[in-house]
Homo-oligomer: A and B are copies of this chain.
Amino acid sequence: MAASTLAEVAKLAGVSPATASRVLNGSARKPGEDIAERVRNAAVSLGYIPNAQAQALARSSSGLIGLVVHDIADPYFSAIARGVQEVAREQRRMVLLASTGGTPEEEREAVAAFAARRADSIVIAGTRSTQAGHASANKELAAELDRYCRNGGHVAVVGQGVVGAKETEGYHVVAVPNEELSRRLALDLAAIHIGQFWIIAGPEGLATSDERTKGFQRGLEAAGRPAAEVLRTSFNREGGYKAGGKLASRIQALYKADPNAAKPCIFAVNDVMAIGAAAALREKGIRIPNGAAIAGFDDIETLRDFRPALSTVRLPLEEIGRLATRSTAGEDVGRTLEVTGEVALRRSTEKG
């Protein structure tokens, strides 16, 4: 027993499929109320559900919006996803989800799959990687997107543009001022901490991580402080934990050499890493903020109840998702797709 079709509804109502279509779906011209009534009744009694696939094929617009994230379980991405989902709902469209793991090659696959499904637009929330090994995959991703746009697709990239993507029609970037914000964070921290700085960063070439690292260093420099040593690790909680473990030993050595040494300050390029690092420090007996200060980036909602409260940079994640989605839907959000954030100093970096 298959779902009933428009033709069946039409037959039951004693009209032509064309008329039935006009009644049931949003057509320009409305048939007479009497006949419309019959059609609607027929539709209900048959439990008619329009076949969106067929509609999409006929009007070449699917009402689908593709969302690419690294990992939907990562709170950073799920917050953005919520924003995307919200707008999609408002616009009566549906979200197609793809978690990729983060390589440009996987993202290209996802984009291709979305293109195959004729998604009207695509939002890419993953961060760009400029690692040498990813050069050719990046090029292919850019090519794929370019083709998608030329075929009338709209794409919005969160964070920074896709490496090598042409600024074609329909290609938007929701810029996140990572560098500027972490520069400010560094400035604020340098004002209260006289000790040494360390940065826990993601793998080299990960754009978001690189930008935040660079901005932080610039801030330190502006404050007349020496550059921080950078520990590279994976861009997630585990990475933070490992790096935290290493730093713990160094911090212990520091205090052993000089019990009155100035308290060091750690900047992890995202909150999840900061939390991991904090866990490692705690395990080694280093208390925060007494033995070391630590700050993150993103201001992940789920992590706000963490104690000591984590200093971080608040990013309007949901809003980013909404903005990205709107920008692909023709709604002119204004040329300036730059979002803003703000430094949030809390207990984890308290003085003293």
A residues whose Cβ falls under 8 Å from a Cβ of B? 1-3, 47, 49-54, 56-57, 62, 67, 71-75, 78-79, 81-82, 85-86, 89, 94-99, 112-113, 115-118, 147, 150-152, 237, 272, 275-276, 278-279, 282, 300-303, 305-307, 318
User: Are B81 and A72 neighbours in the complex by a CB distance under 8 Å?
Assistant: yes
Q: Which residues of B contact A237 (CB under 8 A)?
A: 305
Copy tally for this chain in the complex stands at: 2
Chain B residue nearest in CB terms to A100:
B89
Q: Can you list 29 A-B pairs with a CB-CB distance of less than 8 A?
A: A2-B152, A3-B151, A47-B147, A49-B115, A50-B116, A51-B57, A52-B117, A53-B53, A53-B118, A54-B57, A57-B57, A67-B97, A71-B82, A73-B75, A73-B78, A73-B82, A73-B318, A75-B75, A75-B302, A94-B96, A95-B96, A95-B98, A272-B302, A278-B305, A279-B305, A282-B307, A302-B302, A302-B303, A305-B306
A152 to B3, CA, bound (A): 9
User: Are B94 and A72 neighbours in the complex by a CB distance under 8 Å?
Assistant: no
A300 to B73, CA, bound (A): 11
In this complex, the member of A56, A71, A318 whose beta carbon has the largest number of chain B beta carbons within 10 angstroms is A56
What's the least CB distance linking A249 to chain B, in Å? 20
A264 to B51, CA, bound (A): 57
Q: Which residues of B contact A279 (CB under 8 A)?
A: 305
Q: Which residues of B contact A62 (CB under 8 A)?
A: 53
Q: Which residues of B contact A78 (CB under 8 A)?
A: 72-75, 78, 81
What's the least CB distance linking A295 to chain B, in Å? 16
Given A73-B79, A73-B81, A78-B78; A112-B51 close (CB under 8 Å): no
What's the least CB distance linking A266 to chain B, in Å? 15
A71 to B49, CA, bound (A): 26
A301 to B72, CA, bound (A): 13
Q: Which residues of B contact A116 (CB under 8 A)?
A: 49-52
A286 to B275, CA, bound (A): 24
In this complex, the member of A85, A112, A115, A117 whose beta carbon has the largest number of chain B beta carbons within 10 angstroms is A117
What's the least CB distance linking A220 to chain B, in Å? 27
What's the least CB distance linking A126 to chain B, in Å? 14
In this complex, the member of A151, A276, A300 whose beta carbon has the largest number of chain B beta carbons within 10 angstroms is A151
User: Are B49 and A57 neighbours in the complex by a CB distance under 8 Å?
Assistant: no
Chain B residue nearest in CB terms to A98:
B94
User: Are A96 and B97 neighbours in the complex by a CB distance under 8 Å?
Assistant: yes
Q: Knowing that A1-B150, A72-B81, A72-B82 are A-B contacts, what are 9 other residue pairs whose CB atoms are under 8 Å apart, sorted by A's residue number? A: A3-B151, A51-B116, A53-B53, A57-B57, A71-B82, A94-B113, A95-B96, A97-B97, A275-B305
A318 to B72, CA, bound (A): 11
A94 to B276, CA, bound (A): 32
Q: Which residues of B contact A74 (CB under 8 A)?
A: 78
A231 to B3, CA, bound (A): 46
Q: Which residues of B contact A81 (CB under 8 A)?
A: 72-73, 78, 97
A96 to B2, CA, bound (A): 22
Chain B residue nearest in CB terms to A147:
B47
Q: Which residues of B contact A71 (CB under 8 A)?
A: 82
A161 to B67, CA, bound (A): 30
